[in-house]
A and B are shown apart, each in its own frame.
Chain A
Amino acid sequence: AQSVTQLDSHVSVSEGTPVLLRCNYSSSYSPSLFWYVQHPNKGLQLLLKYTSAATLVKGINGFEAEFKKSETSFHLTKPSAHMSDAAEYFCVVSNTNAGKSTFGDGTTLTVKP
């Protein structure tokens, strides 16, 4: 069984300040973990993924995430928010070879000027 919990439904930051979006997961096996971003009225785009290689994963647009097995966490960070980062972010866990995934409920990121 697998599940994922995004700890904040909404996060608001000022432009130029750090971003932290929190994600905890539960998995019976070594999981693959993903962060996707969804801009308004668009499909989902992959930001980054963890697949048991380096625990610190770098993604597109300056985002990165750290896999912490002891804390069962995979938090998403960015040092400096940009207005274009305003979107919905989804944490996803998958522990099967067939790619069946479980999505978190999403975190809405607002960036204030």
Chain B
Amino acid sequence: DAEITQSPRHKITETGRQVTLACHQTWNHNNMFWYRQDLGHGLRLIHYSYGVQDTNKGEVSDGYSVSRSNTEDLPLTLESAASSQTSVYFCASSDPGRGREQYFGPGTRLTVT
């Protein structure tokens, strides 16, 4: 069965370190998204991609970067981790086209100390 996976599931890191969160999907979807989830804020879009070599900033992109070298993967990098980036991170993918739902990974809980 097709799926979307994230790794690691839990990560503790120190302020100032670079961290990369992996997202891998086998749906063959062109669209991929990264969100962060914090209490009281729902899910907020960090970065998104509509295909290989395409990346776009979302509403909370400062301090994060992504790259898309193939269809299956969209890694999220925190250049210099800050305590404000402690959160749960979700990756999602979808087909292009109006009304297509997003398929979500299980999430990565990141703690920055």
**Shortest Cβ distance from residue A30 to the other chain B in the assembled complex, whole angstroms:** 9
- Number of residues of chain B lying within 8 A (CB) of chain A: 26
Q: Say whether, besides A42-B106, A90-B42, A49 and B50 are in contact (CB < 8 Å).
A: no
- Interface residues in chain B, defined as those with a beta carbon under 8 Å from any beta carbon in chain A: 31, 33, 35, 40-45, 48, 50, 90, 92, 94-102, 104-107
Task: Sort chain A's interface into a size bin.
Answer: 20 to 34
Given contact pairs A98-B31, A99-B31, A51 touches B43 in the complex (Cβ within 8 A)? no
Nearest 10 interchain pairs by C-beta:
A51-B99, A43-B104, A32-B99, A105-B42, A44-B104, A103-B43, A103-B42, A99-B94, A46-B101, A43-B106
Are the C-beta atoms of B105 and A97 separated by less than 8 Å? no
Q: Which of B41, B100, B105 contacts A99 (CB 8 A)?
A: B100
Contacts A43-B104, A43-B105; A51 near B98 (Cβ below 8 A): yes
Q: A100: which of B42, B45, B90, B95 is its contact (CB, 8 Å)?
A: B45
Could you tell me the dominant secondary structure of chain A's interface residues? loop
Given contacts A98-B96, A99-B31, A103-B42, 8 further A-B contacts (CB under 8 A): A36-B104, A44-B43, A44-B90, A45-B104, A90-B42, A98-B50, A101-B102, A105-B41
